Structure 1
Amino acid sequence: MLAYSEYGTNRGSSLLIAHGLYGSQRNWVTIAKHLSDTRHVITVDMRNHGQSFWSKNHEYSHMAQDLANVINHFGTPMDVLGHSMGGKAAMLLALNHPNTLRRLVIGDIAPVSYNHTQLQIIKAMKAVDLSCVVRKSDANTQLEKLGVDANLCSFLTQSLDIKTKKWRLNLDSIEQNMPAIMSFPEIDTVHLGPTLFLTGDLSNYVLTKNRSIIQSLFTKAKFAKIKQAGHWLHAEKPREFADTVRTYLDTAVF
């Protein structure tokens, strides 16, 4: 089962949070703590990320089943929040395993295929000489020299284990499965439950033209934007993001 952490264990209904590509549950501690004053929050490391197991499989059907396994472990349907890759996994969870969840929040991603690739980032991470990395700033410097954006470098090195000099990412599996990660499986079911698509107004990941396919799959889809936020809206505007999620979960009728 996926590695997980809990916050606000004895409070209210449960919220499961699934992070995006190259991320980990560590990226969501601030949001989890903020929301845990009124609910039980569970953060997970997705497969091939963080402390979770490594696998040659990294398709959304597997990731959705991973999330279902966590929910079934706790024995009760949960609200689910997923960002980017985690958002696609959460969408497929809702479509394939509707009885496992209550309300759904999707962070800055649509159920569509994207043309861009992340392979250049994997190439850069693999090129880092970890033998001479003493602190994360050393890896940041190498990544920047390899052409990676400075802000992205800081994000990536959150998944670097300095003691073992290894990435907490199964880069080989992620690389091999990149086409599947960038796509979204064709599916003929619909989700009838309450769903919020929350985007950054500076991001181009969810376009107006995507709304028709979103609404065809998620019949109760609502849309909201965080001002002055890009794709990493939860990190750029954590207070606004958490407050919007809280308001939705508190008011959306299940």
Structure 2
Amino acid sequence: MIFSREYGHGEPLIIIHGLFGMSDNWNSLAKQFAKEFNVHVVDLRNHGRSFHSDDFSYNYMSEDVENYIDVKGLHKPIIIGHSLGGKVAMNLCTRFAELINKLIVVDIAPRYYSVDFHKNILDILSNISIREISSRNEIDEKLSNDIKEFSIRQFLMKNLYRNTDKEFCWRFNIHVLRNKLDNISNAEFIENEIHTPTLFIRGKKSNYINKADEELIQKFFINSKIVTVENAGHWVHAEQPNLFFESVMKFIN
């Protein structure tokens, strides 16, 4: 079963992180939601503390979440998914709609996205022999040659840990992510109308959900609305946590 962090009591709410992310990224917001909900922040396969597998696709990931819901005995949870996690949540909805109460999709639309940027990141990470490096600063220095944005390096480096031999390792499965990236570029799994009440949250400064996407969303998600959060990019929940929290709570209630 996939790894999770659990907080609070009440109606179940599952949070699914994005590519290169993990449950840790959502700690603060999870604790905020936990004042009213039983919050489960999961690590997708090949991410965080969950298992590594050569099988990597939206179907596999949504089945992992469906299995988690079953094993934990959760009754009709609310699902929040960001980016990759948003597509996993949409896939879950197309296949197991009866299990889900409401859906919140964060800054992603049900369509194809280029994975060139992510491939480039994985190539950069693959070319660094981190096991031979003794400090995080040294890793950051090497990454900074190719990744100029400190915030992206910081986000990636949250995945560093030391193994039993005290060597640095990445929590995400670089090899599989690199080879299976094309499996997660599309959203071909969405073929029919989805009637689950759905909120799409986008960052005003992000280009992940554009005008054409609004029509696509309304075509497939019959019972949906789109909210735009000011002064936020793709990581809406991290950049404007309070506005994000308010938007979600307003929708749920």
TM-score by length of 2: 0.94
Residue 136 of structure 1: how far off its partner (Å): 2.6
Name 2:138's counterpart in structure 1: 138
Alignment check: 8 A CA contact 1:60 1:185 kept? no
**Alignment partners' CA distance in 1, 2:214 and 2:136:** 40
**Alignment partners' CA distance in 2, 1:164 and 1:50:** 17
Name 1:114's counterpart in structure 2: 113
Residue 98 of structure 1: how far off its partner (Å): 0.4
Tell me, which stretches of 5 or more residues in structure 1 are unaligned?
none
Name 2:89's counterpart in structure 1: 90
**Alignment partners' CA distance in 1, 2:231 and 2:243:** 11
Amino acid at match of 2:124: A
TM-score by length of 1: 0.94
Deviations 1:5-52 (A, max 9, x none): 1000xx220100000000000000011001110111000000000110
Alignment check: 8 A CA contact 1:124 1:148 kept? no
Name 1:151's counterpart in structure 2: 151
Residue 238 of structure 1: how far off its partner (Å): 1.3
Judged with a 3 Å threshold, the aligned counterparts in structure 2 of structure 1 residues 42 and 186 are, in CA distance, closer, same or farther, namely closer
Give identity over the alignment, percent: 32
Judged with a 3 Å threshold, the aligned counterparts in structure 2 of structure 1 residues 56 and 131 are, in CA distance, closer, same or farther, namely closer
Judged with a 3 Å threshold, the aligned counterparts in structure 2 of structure 1 residues 219 and 204 are, in CA distance, closer, same or farther, namely same
Deviations 1:157-179 (A, max 9, x none): 00111344110011111111111
Residue 244 of structure 1: how far off its partner (Å): 1.5
CA RMSD, aligned part only?
Answer: 1.3
Kindly tell me the number of residue pairs found equivalent between the two proteins.
Answer: 248
Amino acid at match of 2:28: T
Name 1:57's counterpart in structure 2: 55
Asked whether 1:223 is paired with 2:226, we answer yes
Alignment check: 8 A CA contact 1:233 1:241 kept? yes
Residue 123 of structure 1: how far off its partner (Å): 0.8
Alignment of 1:41-80 (within 5 A): 41-75=39-73, 76-80=75-79
Judged with a 3 Å threshold, the aligned counterparts in structure 2 of structure 1 residues 164 and 131 are, in CA distance, closer, same or farther, namely closer
Name 1:125's counterpart in structure 2: 125
Deviations 1:75-114 (A, max 9, x none): 2110000000000000010111101110100000001001
Tell me, which stretches of 5 or more residues in structure 2 are unaligned?
none
**More displaced, 125-134 or 50-59?**
125-134
